[in-house]
């Protein structure tokens, strides 16, 4: 009976209204995001609005949906404590060419709530459209709330295609490897794209979280790795990662990539600590994309 009651709690939570959010931006915001994930003055297509090929790096799609994602209700969970929330996985699907300025409207909803015993895993989905209603991005985000499990809910996730794929690393040498050292001010720059969590800028706040200094945003080093995939293999139509560790600004990221058909499986580690920070990760190449090796 308890199990049915808890399942009903989840069903009721899925019915809770979540208001759409609006994201208005200009080419300046696109450039700021591109710089925030390591684009430089040499990458004119990403840092100069007058370039013929000026564009957003594809992972920009995680930015317009952030307010909508954060508005998804989670306080229906037992023992819910936002301080015990960890970003576990992120999936981004790019449905149409990305405008470099304009107004986008994001609508979020609960997709899945799993009982992992000592934690709850909550997956939300956000659809982002332009003002004409055309779908531009779909994001799926999974967060783990420590201490909010044990409520008798379903334990195993449903198959969500590329959004939940295991993406096991092939047993061969990678087809491409890119190293990039982040800057000491990387988090201070990236946060200006919208994630103002003090965990990434205030040492005393980071200490409360158990870190000896502020850490880099997970979506920032996801973006850096996505940039590496783009540089080596061309445009992609979706990208999925599991956050497996932390990155401190100034550390060096190593992205190892394996091309398997139209998918690029990748793994990212911190060179200085030989610690994997992105796992179960892959991008599906867009039709017509060619390797740039």
The residues carrying an active-site annotation are 195, 200, 215, 218
Dihedral angle, C-alpha 190, 195, 200, 202, nearest 10 °:
120
Which H or E run contains 208? helix 203-208
> Cα–Cα distance between 264 and 256 in angstroms, integer?
10
> Cα–Cα distance between 214 and 199 in angstroms, integer?
6
Which H or E run contains 97? none
> Cα–Cα distance between 29 and 242 in angstroms, integer?
26
Beta strands at 119-130 and 263-270: parallel, antiparallel or unpaired: unpaired
Beta strands at 135-146 and 236-243: parallel, antiparallel or unpaired: unpaired
Collapse the DSSP code of 219 into the 3-class scheme (helix H, G, I; strand E, B; otherwise coil) and give the result: helix
* Angular region, 31: left φ>0, alpha ψ -120 to 50, beta rest: alpha
For the chain, how many residues are written? 293
> Cα–Cα distance between 168 and 222 in angstroms, integer?
17
- Cα 17 to the chain's mean position, in Å? 24
């Amino acid at each position: 009976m308890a199990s049915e009651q808890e399942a009903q709690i989840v069903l009721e939570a899925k019915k809770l209204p979540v208001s759409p959010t609006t994201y208005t931006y200009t080419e300046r915001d696109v450039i700021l995001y591109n710089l925030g994930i390591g684009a430089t003055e040499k990458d004119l297509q990403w840092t100069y609005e007058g370039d013929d090929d000026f564009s957003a790096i594809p992972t920009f799609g995680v930015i317009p949906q952030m307010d909508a994602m954060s508005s998804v209700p989670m306080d229906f969970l037992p023992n819910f404590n936002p301080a015990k929330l960890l970003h576990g996985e992120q999936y981004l699907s790019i449905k149409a060419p990305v405008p470099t300025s304009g107004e986008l409207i994001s609508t979020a909803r609960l997709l899945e709530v799993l009982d992992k015993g000592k934690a709850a895993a909550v997956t939300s989905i956000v659809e982002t459209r332009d003002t004409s209603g055309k779908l531009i991005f779909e994001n799926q985000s999974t967060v783990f709330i420590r201490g909010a499990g044990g409520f008798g809910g379903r334990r195993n996730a449903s198959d969500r295609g590329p959004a939940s794929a295991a993406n096991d690393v092939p047993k061969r040498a990678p087809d491409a490897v890119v190293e990039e050292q982040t800057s000491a001010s990387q988090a201070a720059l990236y946060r200006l794209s919208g994630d103002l969590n003090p965990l990434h800028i205030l040492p005393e706040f980071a200490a409360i979280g158990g870190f000896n200094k502020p850490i880099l945003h997970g979506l920032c080093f996801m973006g850096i790795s996505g940039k590496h995939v783009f540089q080596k293999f061309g445009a992609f139509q979706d990208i999925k990662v599991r956050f497996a560790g932390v990155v401190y600004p100034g550390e060096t990221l190593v992205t190892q990539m394996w091309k398997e058909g139209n998918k690029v499986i990748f793994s990212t580690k911190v060179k200085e600590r030989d610690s994997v920070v992105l796992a179960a990760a892959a991008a599906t190449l867009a039709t017509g994309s060619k390797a740039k090796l």
